[in-house]
């Protein structure tokens, strides 16, 4: 609560410093209508010419403006209409403006490219934009999903409500190479270091526009903008007023392939009101609810180090089956190595040695020798019964043993005897087997939901200075694909911002508060459930023993495959089955036990505190006609708090500070033929040296509304908070941070070194635990920030007044590429190199390191929009990204299909207020590399469409549409779900 009080106190203090009163001598009122349709036009800017005094039309197209005296000239402006001027000299005059529609082709203004308003045609770098008008008519369930229609954009779908935007390669779930800003705030979940789609942020009714800066953008936006920056801007309540709501109902899973057909709900509400152009507020809320797409790839995968790939086989014919979306089967052991470890362990047991000494009358303490002498290699049932009767009698006669100790030893011997026979008879194969896992649908909560509530208070301190306090709160249940599948259950994120903004400057402070709620690792949950009903060592002991006995007793008529089936049946006895009370109780318990204590829950209450500001020196000092100069500064502090379940913060919270500043100069030359821009930024973080990132651009005006752009851009990213401090046990092993302190914690730089995954595999395959010379120590190096240098040429222009073309080509070189490596170390209390021979005394450890190899990428893209006439617009884009000179065996995680295209046709009023928008999308084959699974994703095509009907003389809009109309299931990454069709109808009121 104290955090909120700080903002409230600052807000009250700011409100007290008001400059009294605008003159209130004359009030002018009027209305604005579309000259063609006679519809009202809301959110029109009404400005007193030559001043900053003005207002906006409300949701009824009506405005009211108080001025000191008459006459005044009013300027009416809005995107999509011609500017209109009117001289007002009579305060009683009835003002009715007929606003003439105009082409918006290439006339939009963007801020992302230079941090100052710039015509999109004159942008020095590639930038894409969606206006509020575009968003209203999108053929998509929501605006965020429609970002995938933009040129150069790939989108990964890990869940219905978790989509990740990517540009220029490196497609993944959760993108740490792209910044996402909402009203200037870093929108990332600070504990994850990436944005959780649009779980937190403005509701769709409150989104004014979206701008996407493709490619390197750190020179203005800092760390993380190595592949782009996405800016989402909400609506100002002074401009957009009134009550709006939208009710959308739909249906998913219509073919029943994943589950029965189920409903989709998306409801949104917004209310904004301004009072005398001095104070305004807005309230918005939204709720999205559905049964999520399911990840149901049950094919086999093979794990090698930190990577895995799809291979042949299934549970019936591969004893070491490890399903892609099946969890708990990650527990695996080599049968021969395990058998050797069991025999060695029993032989070292003092009780076993005592029994051997007793049974041999003092001749030996070797239990294997004694057992072989008593039973031979093919004992009868009577011999076995007699052996265990004598053993039990001996153990019961040993004084001082507890009942549990007796039972534990006898159980171990029950496994030892058949395993020892198998070793003697050479029937235990050098083959790995895995535990029987559980399908994801039985472990993950697919009842996806996202609820948002936002509040904004805005106050005009003077006609030129606006103060605002905004809060964005979101909660939901969704799924994320990383090294494992993570169920983000009841996740909560809130952002609060206090901002003061003038004509030439702004300063803001904000915080992001994250609470992981009941989030958990689905893979770890599968492992937990298995271990809840039977420990791994017990299960593998029973499996190997049963396999050995099946072959011994079955003779030549018993095949190896049938022996495996028998062994699994024995070992799986007592297995919890989904839907049973025992299973549900185990799942519930696993979700509530922190992962650091053997469960699946991870706690994360990480905060982000930030402040930044910008000042336009040239406008403030009135020399912008000669040179444009802006300066800015930023400060961030991450406060990591996972209570030791996600980060290495068991000893208390961890604070990471980032500071940075930037300068940009822009100069127009030769009668505006050439515009040169130079920008530079310096940033420093707690654990890393500072980084300087320059940017140089040139725009050539080759003709009216036709420009060629050239740019050299640099960008970087500090290793993420997880890269630095993660300490998380997953199904594949232990993930640790890249800082030296993590190496020290686990002894990797001392008494318990790590060895390369390849050398450990070779050591185990040698068949001899004494061959420790095969182990190769892993070399650790301190990690540096990843950087990219990017060169780009582009063209944007209007041809023949109806055709807008935008094209670009780029070449980028990534240095100090951050990639995950895997090592193995002993998990024993007294580590020894021979521990690496058995998976049960080995710990797999992963952390990030810089690659020695430079990663080179190049690509191009072309988009076009053609106004066919009579309201028809044909639009589309095609783009390509690829790597160049990739070293053999290098894993880049680039994951970009070679070619993608989008083609659409729209008409907002094709016949009597009926409009439509349809877009066809295609994506090439894609070799996808991920820490979850790697493999080739096939190409796919899908169609999105929407039909709109606007009820005349009302504010009502009916829509019907669908995405992936053909219901052709596709997926954008391994481990993530197959996505089918979603069909919906909606009713909206007062949508602007």
- 460, containing H or E segment: strand 447-462
Strand bridging mode 228-234 / 179-182: parallel
| Average of per-residue pLDDT values in the chain | 93
pLDDT per residue as tens digits for the range 287-313: 999 999 999 999 999 887 677 889 999
Which residue, chain included where needed, has tokens 């697919």? 446
Name the DSSP class of 991.
-
- Rounded to whole angstroms, what are the CA distances from 69 to 19, 26, 64, 462, 593? 20, 6, 15, 19, 71
pLDDT per residue as tens digits for the range 201-254: 999 999 999 999 999 999 999 998 899 999 999 999 999 999 999 999 999 999
Per DSSP, helices labelled H in 179-277 are 218-221
Residue 23: its pLDDT value, please?
A: 38
Distance CA 187, CA 703 (A): 39
Distance CA 37, CA 912 (A): 10
Question: Residues 539-544: what's their mean pLDDT?
Answer: 97
Distance CA 394, CA 237 (A): 85
Question: Residues 180-190: what's their mean pLDDT?
Answer: 95
Under 8 Å CB-to-CB from 925, ≥6 apart: which residues? Answer: 897, 898, 936, 937, 938, 939
Residue 305: its pLDDT value, please?
A: 67
pLDDT per residue as tens digits for the range 687-699: 999 999 999 999 9
pLDDT per residue as tens digits for the range 357-382: 999 999 999 999 999 999 999 999 99
Question: Residues 454-461: what's their mean pLDDT?
Answer: 98
pLDDT per residue as tens digits for the range 797-846: 999 999 999 999 999 999 998 888 889 999 988 999 999 988 878 999 99
Question: Residues 140-144: what's their mean pLDDT?
Answer: 95
pLDDT of 892 over the 90 cut: no
pLDDT per residue as tens digits for the range 49-64: 988 889 999 989 999 9
Under 8 Å CB-to-CB from 621, ≥6 apart: which residues? Answer: none
pLDDT per residue as tens digits for the range 395-410: 999 998 999 999 999 9
Question: Residues 697-714: what's their mean pLDDT?
Answer: 97
**Percent over 90 (pLDDT), the chain:** 83
Residue 192: its pLDDT value, please?
A: 86
- 431, 419 in Cβ contact below 8 A? no
- 739, 723 in Cβ contact below 8 A? no
Name the DSSP class of 28.
E
Q: If pLDDT is split at 50, 70 and 90, which confidence band does 757 have?
A: confident
Residue 6: its pLDDT value, please?
A: 47
Q: Which of 81-85, 110-114, 576-580, 816-820 is predicted most confidently?
A: 576-580
pLDDT per residue as tens digits for the range 341-362: 899 999 999 999 999 999 999 9
pLDDT per residue as tens digits for the range 547-574: 999 999 998 889 999 999 999 999 999 9
- 122, 707 in Cβ contact below 8 A? yes
Distance CA 324, CA 330 (A): 10
Residue 575: its pLDDT value, please?
A: 98
Q: If pLDDT is split at 50, 70 and 90, which confidence band does 888 have?
A: confident
Distance CA 525, CA 530 (A): 9
Residues 797-828: b if buried by 16+ CB within 10 A, e if exposed: bbeeeeebbbbbebebebbbbbbbbbbbbbbe
Q: If pLDDT is split at 50, 70 and 90, which confidence band does 635 have?
A: very high
Domains in the chain: ranges and CATH = 2-99 (2.60.40.1120)
Closest CA to 902 of 181, 140, 170: 140
Measure CA of the first residue to CA of the last residue in the chain; give whole Å.
35
């Amino acid at each position: 609560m104290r955090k909120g009080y700080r903002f409230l106190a600052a807000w009250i203090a700011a409100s007290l410093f008001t400059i009294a009163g605008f003159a209130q001598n004359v009030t002018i009122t009027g209305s604005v209508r579309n000259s063609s349709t006679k519809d009202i036009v809301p959110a029109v800017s009404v400005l007193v010419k030559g001043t900053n005094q003005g207002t906006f039309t409300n949701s009824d197209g009506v405005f009211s403006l108080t001025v000191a005296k008459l006459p005044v000239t009013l300027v009416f402006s809005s995107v999509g209409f011609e500017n209109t001027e009117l001289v007002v000299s009579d305060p009683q005059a009835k003002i009715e403006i007929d606003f003439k529609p105009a082409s918006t082709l290439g006339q939009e203004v963007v801020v992302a490219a230079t941090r100052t308003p710039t015509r999109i045609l004159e942008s020095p770098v590639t930038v894409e934009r969606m206006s509020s008008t575009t968003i209203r008519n999108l053929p998509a369930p929501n605006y965020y999903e429609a970002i995938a229609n933009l040129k150069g954009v790939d989108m990964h779908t890990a869940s219905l409500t978790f989509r990740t935007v990517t540009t220029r390669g490196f497609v993944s779930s959760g993108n740490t190479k792209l910044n996402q800003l909402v009203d200037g705030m870093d929108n990332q979940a600070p504990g994850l270091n990436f944005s959780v789609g649009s779980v937190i942020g403005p509701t769709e009714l409150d989104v004014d526009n979206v701008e996407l800066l493709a490619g390197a953008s750190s020179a203005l936006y800092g760390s993380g903008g190595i592949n782009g920056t996405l800016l989402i801007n909400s609506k100002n309540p002074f401009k957009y007023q009134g009550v709006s709501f939208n009710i959308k109902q739909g249906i998913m899973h219509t073919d029943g392939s994943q589950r029965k057909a189920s409903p989709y709900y998306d409801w949104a509400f917004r209310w904004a009101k301004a009072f005398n152009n001095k104070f305004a507020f807005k309230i918005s809320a939204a709720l999205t609810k559905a049964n999520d797409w399911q990840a149901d790839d049950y094919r086999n995968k093979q794990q090698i180090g930190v990577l895995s790939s799809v291979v042949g086989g299934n549970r019936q014919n591969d004893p070491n089956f490890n399903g892609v979306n099946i969890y708990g089967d990650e527990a695996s052991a080599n049968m021969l190595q395990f058998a050797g470890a069991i025999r060695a362990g029993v032989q070292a047991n003092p009780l076993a040695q005592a029994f051997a000494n007793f049974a041999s009358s003092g001749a030996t303490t070797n239990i294997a020798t004694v057992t072989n002498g008593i039973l031979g290699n093919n004992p009868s049932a009577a011999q076995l019964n007699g052996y265990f009767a004598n053993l039990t009698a001996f153990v019961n006669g040993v004084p001082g043993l507890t009942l549990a100790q007796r039972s534990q030893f006898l159980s171990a011997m029950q496994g030892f005897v058949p395993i020892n026979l198998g070793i003697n008879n050479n029937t235990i194969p050098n083959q790995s087997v895995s535990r029987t896992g559980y399908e994801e649908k039985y472990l993950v909560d697919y009842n996806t939901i996202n609820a948002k509530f936002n509040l904004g208070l805005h106050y005009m301190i003077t006609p030129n200075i606006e103060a605002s306090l905004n809060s964005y709160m979101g909660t939901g249940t969704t799924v994320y694909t990383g090294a494992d599948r993570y169920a983000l259950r009841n996740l909560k994120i809130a952002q609060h911002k206090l901002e003061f903004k003038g004509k030439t400057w702004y300063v803001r402070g904000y915080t992001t508060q994250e609470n992981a709620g009941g989030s958990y690792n689905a893979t770890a949950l599968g492992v937990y459930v298995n271990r809840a009903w039977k420990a791994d060592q017990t299960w593998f002991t029973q499996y190997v023993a049963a396999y050995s006995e099946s072959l011994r007793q079955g003779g030549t008529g018993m095949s190896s495959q049938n022996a495996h089936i028998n062994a699994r049946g024995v070992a799986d006895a007592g297995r919890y089955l989904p839907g049973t009370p025992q299973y549900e109780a185990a799942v519930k318990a696993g979700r509530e036990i922190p992962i650091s204590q053997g469960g699946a829950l991870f706690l994360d209450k990480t905060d982000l505190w930030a402040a930044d500001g910008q000042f336009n020196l040239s406008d403030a000092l009135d020399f912008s006609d000669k040179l444009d100069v802006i300066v800015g500064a930023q400060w961030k502090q991450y406060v990591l708090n996972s209570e030791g379940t996600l980060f290495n913060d068991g000893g208390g919270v961890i604070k990471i500070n980032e500071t940075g500043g930037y300068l940009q100069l822009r100069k127009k030359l030769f009668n505006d033929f050439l515009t040169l821009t130079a920008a530079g930024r310096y940033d420093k973080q707690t654990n890393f040296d500072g980084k300087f990132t320059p940017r140089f651009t040139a725009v050539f005006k080759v003709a009216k509304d036709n420009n060629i752009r050239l740019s050299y851009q640099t960008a970087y990213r500090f290793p993420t908070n997880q890269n630095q401090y993660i300490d998380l046990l997953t199904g594949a092993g232990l993930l640790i941070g890249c800082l030296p302190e993590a190496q020290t914690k686990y002894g990797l730089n001392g008494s318990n070194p790590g060895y390369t995954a390849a050398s450990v595999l070779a050591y185990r395959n040698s068949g001899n635990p004494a061959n420790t010379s095969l182990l190769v120590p892993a070399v650790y190096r301190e990690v540096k920030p990843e950087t990219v240098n990017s060169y780009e040429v582009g063209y944007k222009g209007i041809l023949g007044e109806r055709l807008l073309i935008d094209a670009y080509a780029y070449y980028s070189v990534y240095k100090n590429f951050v990639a995950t490596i895997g090592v193995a170390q002993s998990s024993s209390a007294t580590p020894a190199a021979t521990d690496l021979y058995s998976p049960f005394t080995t710990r797999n450890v992963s952390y990030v390191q810089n690659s020695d190899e430079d990663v080179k990428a190049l690509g191009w893209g072309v988009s076009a929009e053609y106004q066919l006439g009579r309201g028809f617009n044909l639009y589309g884009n095609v783009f390509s990204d690829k790597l160049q000179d990739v070293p053999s065996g290098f894993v880049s995680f680039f994951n970009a299909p070679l070619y993608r295209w989008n083609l659409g046709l729209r008409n907002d009023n094709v016949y009597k207020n009926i409009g439509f928008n349809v877009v066809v999308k295609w994506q090439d084959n894609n070799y996808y590399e991920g820490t979850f699974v790697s493999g080739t994703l096939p190409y796919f095509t899908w169609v999105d469409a929407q039909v709109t009907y606007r009820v005349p003389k009302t504010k009502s809009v009916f829509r019907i549409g669908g995405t992936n109309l053909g219901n052709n299931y596709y997926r954008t990454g391994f481990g993530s779900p197959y996505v089918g069709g979603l069909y919906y109808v909606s009713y909206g009121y007062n949508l602007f």
